[in-house]
Structure 1
Amino acid sequence: MKWIEKSMHPLCMQAGHYNGQYEFFDCAEFIKSLEVKVMKPPRIPYDAEIISIDMTGDIAVVKVEDDCFGTTFTDYFSLIKSEGRWQIVMKIFLGHANA
C-alpha cells in the first residue's frame, strides 16, 4: 500500500458511489479500507485506461476507467505538483455495478 500512500497528498479526500451508497473518506480511512479488500497478487495485470488528462500549470484532472473489486469504476483524480512531484488531492468515483 505504500505506493498508494505516496501517490496521495496527506490531505486527500475521496467521495463516490459504490455498492448503492455514497462513500466519503479521508486519505487514512481510504488506505485502511483497502487493507480488508482482496487485492490482485503482484505482477497480475490490472485493467485500467486513462481516458483524459487536462493540465494547467501545476494542477491537473485525470479521468480513469478501471476494473476493480468486481465492478468497473470511473475515477476522476485532481492532482497538484508540490515539491517536484504530482500527488492526488481529490478522487471522486462511480462504481458502475450498482449505480
Structure 2
Amino acid sequence: MQQADLIAPATQAAAAVPQAQPQLLRCPCCGSAPALRNSKAQFAEDTYWHWVECSACGLATRYMAGAAERCIPAVATAWNTRTPASKSAAKDTAQ
C-alpha cells in the first residue's frame, strides 16, 4: 500500500485545490498593479507576515501575521477599501 492510498479522497481533493487569490484593485495613487506579499515571521515557527503592496510606488497595507487563510482576505479587503474624497478635496480638484 502506498502512502497516497492512506489519505482520504476528500483530503486529497482539498489539498489539490490551491487557494484562490483575491481580486485586487489597482493602486489608488499611481494606478499600477499591486501584489500580495509575505515574509517569514521571526517570532513563531509557522507564521508569516502578509500584506498588499503596489509594485510601482510602494504604497502598502499594514502587515498582518498569521495563517494565510485568515490574513490574505483581510489585507485584500483593506487594500480594496477606498475612502470617498472629502467635499473640500473634491472642490480643490474641480477648480
Q: Normalized against structure 2, the TM-score is what?
A: 0.28
State the structure with more CA Rg. 2
Higher fraction of strand: 1
Q: Normalized against structure 1, the TM-score is what?
A: 0.28
Between 1 and 2, higher relative CO (CA 8 Å, sep ≥ 6) is seen in 1
Higher fraction of helix: 2
